[in-house]
Amino acid sequence: MPAPRPKARVIVTRKLPDQIEARLSELFDVELNPEDKPFTREQLHAAVQRAEVLAPTLGDPIDGALLASAGPQMRMIANFGAGVDHIDVKSAVGRGITVSNTPGVLTDDTADLAMALILAAPRRLAEGVKLLQEGRWTGWTPTFLMGRQLKGKKLGILGMGRIGQALAHRAKAFGLEIHYHNRKPLPAAQAEELGATHWPSLDQMLARVDILSVNCPYTPATYHLLSSRSLKLMKPEAYIVNTARGEIIDENALIRMLEAGELAGAALDVFEDEPYINPRLRALPNVFLLPHMGSATLESRVAMGEKMILNIHTFLSGHTPPDKVLLASL
Ligand code: DGY
């Protein structure tokens, strides 16, 4: 009888929910990161030289140079997270390394957070909280902290994938008119159900919407898609919400426009150079900022972990992982 195959070495770069770490430990020869400090470059190099499966997450730069130093045992990158913009998937595939991610299970929570930001910006929640925290409230007045009503306003959704669609359903219930820009229009029945208008031209949509929500993935094609030029097409009374990736917006251009009153406000969960937050952004009264919390619920994070385990297990059993990242999809 052949000796059983030794358990595969899986190296996980960050602390994961307890039940996920327990299951990983049962199934694999796993190295966890209980201290939850991001891996240094050296630690990442050491990991790709020893791991059969690397389980990184956003913030771990898995670039071509790192992959060039991977040992021949390295067969899979099982990302904890949907976005794979921190991974050079092309280099990985070129080296015969399979990449997987965890889409789908964080859709509702991220759409909920986008909706929360859509409420927060025009209703000036950040200013209200700050005022109370600083003990500056002197009482109700008829003209105090007046914001803008959501009902009847035009919401532009940039990227109508899973999260964009989940957001559209929520936003419709709040009385927002749905507009979207996406490579592929929605099937007619779905567009009709949402009352959604497809704009093949992003520029044309930007000029018309009252609130813009960024929900597309970050790829080379979407880097600074919202450039200084395109942001200037928006109405000065419009708001921007971003729960996708900071790099999609030219953050400096956005800050300049917010400072100049050329946009009414912004609510951002993601930033260009996380975890650095530009102090000029923090100083603005008309912004609502969160520390990249879109999928931060116990339910989503456990489901992401379970997906990651399923991907690893399926791959190590000789099959295609259900969430294999395909180059053509990027
Ligand atoms: C992802 O999965 O890419 C998200 O940004 C995490 O919230």
Q: Where does the pLDDT of residue 21 fall: very low under 50, low under 70, confident under 90, or very high at 90 and above? A: very high
Q: Is 77 helix (H, G, I), strand (E, B) or coil?
A: strand
Residue 112 neighbours by CB under 8 Å, 6+ apart: 170
**One domain, residues 151 and 52:** no
Q: Please indicate whether residue 10, judged by its CB atom, sits closer than 6 Å to ligand 1.
A: no
Catalytic residues, by residue number, are 245, 274, 292
**One domain, residues 34 and 132:** no
- Closest residue to atom 7 of ligand 1, CA basis: 295
Q: Average pLDDT, whole number, for the chain?
A: 97
Q: Of ligand 1's atoms, which has the minimum distance to the CA of residue 270?
A: 5
**One domain, residues 121 and 221:** yes
Distance CA 18, CA 206 (A): 43
**One domain, residues 50 and 143:** no
Domain assignment of residue 57, given as a range: 9-105+297-329
Q: Of ligand 1's atoms, which has the minimum distance to the CA of residue 296?
A: 7
**One domain, residues 100 and 112:** no
pLDDT of residue 1: 65
Q: Which of 295, 301, 302, 330 to mutate to test the pocket of ligand 1 (most atoms within 8 A of CB)?
A: 295
**One domain, residues 42 and 117:** no
User: In terms of residues, how long is the chain?
Assistant: 330
**One domain, residues 208 and 255:** yes
Q: Which residues of 19-56 are buried (b: 16+ CB within 10 A; e: fewer)?
A: ebbebbeeebebbbbeeeeebeeeebeebbeebbbbbb
What is the average per-residue pLDDT within 168-178? 98
pLDDT in tens, 77-91: 999 999 999 999 999
Distance 292 CA to ligand 1 centre (A): 8
Residue 3 lies in a domain: no
**One domain, residues 163 and 260:** yes
- By the 8 A CB rule, do 255 and 278 touch? yes
> How many domains is the chain partitioned into structurally?
2
**One domain, residues 315 and 261:** no
pLDDT of residue 75: 98
pTM of the model as a whole: 0.96
Residue 137 lies in a domain: yes
Residue 4 lies in a domain: no
**One domain, residues 169 and 42:** no
Q: Of ligand 1's atoms, which has the minimum distance to the CA of residue 103?
A: 2
CATH number of the CATH domain containing 151 = 3.40.50.720
Q: Which of 106, 271, 308 to mutate to test the pocket of ligand 1 (most atoms within 8 A of CB)?
A: 106
**One domain, residues 101 and 250:** no
**One domain, residues 147 and 206:** yes
